[in-house]
Structure 1
Amino acid sequence: MSYQALYRVFRSQSFEEVIGQKHVTTTLKNAIARNKISHAYLFNGPRGTGKTSIAKIFAKAINCTERYDGEPCNTCPSCISITNGSNSDVIEIDAASNNGVDEIRNIRDKVKYAPGESKYKVYIIDEVHMLTTGAFNALLKTLEEPPAHAIFILATTEPHKIPPTIISRCQRFDFKAISTPDIMQHLAYVCDKEAITYEQAALEFIAQSAEGGMRDALSILDQAIAFGDESLTLQHVLNVTGSVGKEEFRQLTDLIIQHDVRGAFDLFHQLLSDGKEVNRLVNDLIYFLRDVIVDFVTGEQQEGEIYTLELSTIYEMIDKINDTLVSMRFAVNMNLHFEVLIVKLSELVKVKEKINGPATETIDHAYIDERLKAFEEKLSAVQLNPVVSAPSKPAKRENKTKNHFSMAQIETVLDNANREDLTYLQENWQSLIDHVKQNDQRALVSLLQNSEPVAASATHVLIKFSDDIHSDIVNKDEEKREKIESIVYTIINKKVKMVGVPDSQWLQVRHEYIQNRKAQPVDKPKQQDIVKTAEELFGKDTINIID
């Protein structure tokens, strides 16, 4: 006998042998054992999950003369003939190629005749959704009231294409995608039966690649075994599927995060020259990042630059990869899209590094002490001799610290602030945060989580942030600020400009604003030299004059 593919050799021959469809097999076994057999069944679910296999097992079980507890014996003449495909009372029809009215009328004409060698005639119509509208109409009456000896089993991967009038006349069973552990267990059983040495990582990769289909998994296994000459390794599986291992993806992401775009291009072209498919590369890259996220959550982080990023950055990387995957479906040159993706990911990491970098520069206390001492000396000289002029050549101004806000912007808000707008905004602020959470905007959630509106007018709003860096981001990152302003607009139906102030400095800022408004302008010419000297020593931005 000629060689048979593994998925044919290891096709399930009883309900107990079926992998991963316990809810279907248990129901059918009980129905057969209690002699409560329906006239029509609809099996729907992903490819390779056992729909046709269970249909044949069902046909054997109802015609078996020696069945026990709903299971076929697989030894009686009826079971053997159905297994071999020689039983004339079990008719398999491929609706993809026999989808016309004439074929269905032929079934309708012949179904009235009694079975020749079995108790029941069983019609298994595969890919039934491919039937034409006329063929479905021709099937309706027969399906509703078939002869007592006839049973119809309809199998499909797309039940939404079947008319409701057909579905309502059948008992419907929804098949599930088979879990990865179940597929791995069955693959190990097949390898043991075939005396094949295997690596566990190879079985895991095959199970993940099959995406819930046992037939696909066995086909990949069959091909990998042939490639590896009676042995199975992960590298064999990667070669026959055109996939890339985690080590290559780790190298690729390392180059992207290090902004070595040229090196990433070279690695990509090397993978192409090894026969890897671009489409497969993109899909496998998403799975690699998925595994990285799992490592983050479980605390099992490994070596690699990818583990130095924040989770929010990895989420955005996956979004960009998904966008590229959609674009590639209509692309002429898919290689170009992947190269552009490499550049986009590198730029994304650059932006995130800039935003998440240190918020303030390190304070040089020795420098400040030195400048204070110089200022005291200058101040003493000015007080003793008020006509002493400032240095002829101003010293270079250096700004060692940065404010997280603009006093001019804050004054703009406070000058026009009113209690009514502030109260309304405070009442709806939690709604804004909930809105951001529901839309899964993690970056904005962390930004707004510990914030509070402290002043508002018809055109501006002042937000207090518990972290200085968040105030700095809102004031300097125009894109994030506009996103928040647009969400505020949807909540309060009013377009306002947002200004941030750190919680650590809000009380001081408010006090200074009140004092400055109360104070009257006073002209003190003698102090001008002192102010000018202080500005030269410390920089104009760090000087705050209080009367």
Structure 2
Amino acid sequence: MESTTLYRKYRPQKFSDIFGQSHIVQTLSNAITHNRIGHAYLFTGPRGTGKTTMARLFAKAVNCQKNNAATAEPCLECEVCKNISAGKSLDIFEIDAASNTGVENIRELRETAKLPPSQAKYKIYIIDEVHMLSSGAFNALLKTLEEPPAHVIFILATTEIHKVPDTIISRCQRFDFTRISLENIIKKLSDIAAKEEVEIEKSALEAIAISAEGGMRDAESLLGQVISLEDKKITTKEVEEILGTTNRQSIEDLTEALISKNTLKAISLIDEVANSGFDLDVFHKSVLNYFRQILLVSIDQSLAKNFSFELTSEQIKKILDLVKITNTAEILKILGTLSEIQGKIKTSFIPQLPFEIAITEITKGLSAKIENETQAAEPPKLAAKIETYSKEIPKKEPVKIIAEVKMEEEPKEENFSNGNNSFNLSDIKKIWNEACKQITQSNQSLAALLPHSIPAKVENGVLFIATKYSFYKDKLNENSNRLTVENVFGKLLGANVKIKPLTEEEAGVKVPETRSSSVPQFGKSVENQKPKETSSLLENAADLLGGQIIE
């Protein structure tokens, strides 16, 4: 079994064997049928899309001794057809421009072109990768293209049309080869597998076709590599291991988990992929590309046709189903978050970590479990801040802090509603200083927090209090402290008040810098209050803990 040369073994011998370039086949067939053969053709397009194959077929068709005028197909039986198929024809020249770039090579070509063909009707020069010719070589070729002998046809092939001079392009009939659709590649691979008597899963063929990126030659080469396993049945897993690609089902499952905000499932999938030995960086790129496809389809479903060389009809249907349960804004958010970790997976000490962080950010706030875990993890920040304060205390004069442990009763929630439970931010600001004074009298531990807090806004009976530091927010959010504040404000306003502590970043306001030791200056309004510059970090810590400083 010549598995390594499948693309040579199954190279198309007739125009009807060509997959995916029907517009070019039709045009060339019409030219042959109506005897309107040009003297120069330019084939351009991605690698592996059939440019040199089409050139050989055209050479065979125009020189066939038993040519069928109705179909323009070569007979494959005459001596000329057999010689061209076997690569033995003396009138067909295949030149690799990459290794024949000089002026001398083109001058030699011009001399041989003057001689008539030995057997065929036309002498045909197929110059592959023509863009590799030097500037001087192009100039030498230009003269021949302008005034070619009647028995000569030039077929130039290139993957980089922008490197070919305009003077050359203008003298040729140009044909643009497109990438071959996934469906056509899979069909051709299935035919080859059947002829080779190899059983292979359909999803495995799809994986090969996707990896080929629209190139039939690449797809056939990959199939040959897979067939070399010589297994009775080739599975998708074996193909993915050879190609170094990720299981497509894992990509689709992760996508569904992110869209449905299923944090646990998404993180579990990442662990499965990592533990299976797949490259997470490659997997990340595949997931990004899949979300890109979903994004474009969510913008307009007609864009799905752009993925004919990337997705099967079944895979496109899955994307259309996903678009129905999400929206463009949500997909953009997910794409943005996933794009931020690009390049971080390779350099991370734990490859899964960037992925897990991105998953948490995408689903945060929509998963109750993650929200609770986040809130539970925040209180230790208070200890960290106190440790920072202790390091900043001067060591010249040792100071002792003796905490006075006060056995305070747990405050109870009271009802202050007088029938009119409405209040606004202006009402809060009017009583703010008095409220702070009463709160300090009933709970000394709140004395250090209040100078670093301001009323931010009122919404639906909830007072949002902005704090300077996150650990102040945590302290104020403790049940006993929160009830104390709510009861004092409720008593002063004659309404039921609920509070919601926030950091200044969360509230979107700036809390003024202050160093006041315990409570605000109650004689001034909260808007005009200015910070004192007398207290220290030590005093703040003592106030926060309800202790005294002993000299």
TM-score, normalization: structure 1? 0.60
Partner of 1:7: 7
- Unpaired runs of 5+ residues, structure 2, are 302-315, 372-411, 422-434, 447-454, 467-487, 501-551
Shift of 1:264: 7.6
Question: Could you tell me how far apart the structure 1 residues matched to 2:490 and 2:22 are?
Answer: 86
337 and 312 in structure 1: CA distance in 2 versus 1, 3 angstrom threshold: farther
1:243 positional shift: 0.9
Is 1:539 aligned to 2:497, yes or no? yes
Give the whole-Å Cα distance in 2 for the aligned partners of 1:71 and 1:539. Answer: 88
In the alignment, what sits opposite 1:60? 60
> Residues 132-181 of structure 1: CA distance to partner in whole angstroms, max 9, x if unpaired?
11111111101121111111000111101110000000000011111111
- The aligned counterpart of 2:334 is 317
Greater relative contact order, per chain length (Cα 8 Å cut-off, separation 6+): 2
1:178 aligns with 2:180: yes
Equivalent positions of 1:465-504 (< 5 A) are none
1:83 — aligned with what? Answer: 85
In structure 1, the residue matched to 2:45 is: 45
SS of 1:124's partner is: strand
How far apart are the structure 2 equivalents of 1:116 and 1:219?
Answer: 35
Q: Measure, in 1, the Cα distance between the counterparts of 2:461 and 2:141.
A: 75
1:236 aligns to what?
A: 238
Alignment of 1:278-357 (within 5 A): 280-289=282-291, 312-321=329-338, 341-342=354-355, 345-346=358-359, 348-349=361-362, 353=366
Output the amino acid matched with 2:23. H
**1:224 Cα deviation from its structure 2 partner:** 1.9
Residues of 2 paired with 1:536 and 1:405: CA distance?
A: 12
Q: Is the 8 A contact 2:3 2:227 kept in 1?
A: no
Q: CA deviation at 1:286?
A: 2.5
In 1, Cα distance between equivalents of 2:188 and 2:122: 32
Give the 3 Å change call, closer, same or farther, for CA 70–375 of structure 1 in structure 2.
closer
- Alignment match, 1:211: 213
Q: Contact 2:40–2:145 (CA<8 Å) still a contact in 1?
A: yes
Q: Which residue of 2 aligns with 1:372?
A: 417
Supply the distance in 1 between the matched residues of 2:418 and 2:462 (Cα, whole angstroms).
29
Distance verdict in 2 for CA 1:2–1:531, change over 3 Å: closer
Residue in 2 aligned with 1:22?
22
CA contact (8 A) 1:259 1:346 kept: no
In the alignment, residue 538 of structure 1 is paired with which amino acid? N
Deviation at 1:348, TM superposition (A): 3.4
SS of residue matched to 1:96: coil
Secondary structure of 2:94's aligned partner:
strand
User: For this pair of structures, how many residues does the alignment match?
Assistant: 390
Does the C-alpha gap of structure 1 residues 12 and 279 become closer, same or farther in structure 2, counting only changes over 3 Å? farther
Separation of aligned partners in 1, 2:47 and 2:193? 23
Aligned-pair identity in percent equals 38
Q: What value does the CA root-mean-square deviation take over the aligned residues? A: 4.7
2:212 counterpart of 1:156: no
From 392, 400, 403, the counterpart of 2:459? 403
Kept after mapping to 2: 8 A contact 1:246/1:288: no
* Alignment CA distance shift 1:346-1:541 (3 Å): closer
* SS in structure 1 of the partner of residue 154 of structure 2: strand
Cα 1:314/1:257, change in 2 over 3 Å:
farther
Contact residue 44 and residue 175 of structure 1 kept, 8 A: yes
Structure 1 portions without partners, runs of 5+: 358-366, 377-389, 408-471, 477-529, 543-547
CA, structure 1 residues 225+344, in 2 after alignment: closer, same or farther (shift >3 Å)? same
CA 1:165–1:314: 2 relative to 1, 3 Å: same
SS at match of 1:372: coil
**Aligned mates of 1:115, 1:213 — CA distance in 2:** 34
The match for 2:123 among 110, 121, 130 is: 121
CA distance in 2: counterparts of 1:65 and 1:352, whole angstroms? 75
**1:405, 1:88 → 2: CA distance?**
94
TM-score, structure 2 normalization:
0.60
Distance 1:531 1:26, change over 3 A: closer
**Aligned counterparts of 2:193 and 2:211: Cα–Cα separation in 1:** 18
Contact 2:98–2:132 at 8 Å: present in 1 too? yes
Task: Find the aligned partners of 2:167 and 2:319 in 1 and give their Cα distance.
Answer: 54
Contact 2:416-2:490 at 8 Å conserved across structures: no
1:270 paired with 2:270, answer no
Q: Distance in 2 between matches of 1:537 and 1:64?
A: 99
Q: Partners in 2 of 1:122 and 1:337 — Cα distance?
A: 59
1:360-407, Cα deviation, whole Å (9 max, x unpaired): xxxxxxx9996537999xxxxxxxxxxxxx9x977999x9x9618999
For residue 146 of structure 1, what is the aligned residue in structure 2? 148
Query: 1:227: how far off?
Result: 2.6
**Distance in 2, Cα, partners of 1:336 & 1:79:** 61
Q: Please, which moves more after superposition, 200-209 or 76-85?
A: 200-209
- Of 87, 91, 94, which residue of structure 2 is paired with 1:92? 94
Between the aligned partners of 2:100 and 2:88, the Cα distance in structure 1 is 20
Residues 461 and 496 in structure 2, CA contact (< 8 A), matched pair in contact too: no
Cα displacement (A) at 1:278: 5.2
Amino acid aligned to 1:54:
M
In 1, distance between residues paired with 2:360 and 2:330?
11
CA–CA distance in structure 2, aligned partners of residues 278 and 532 of structure 1: 55
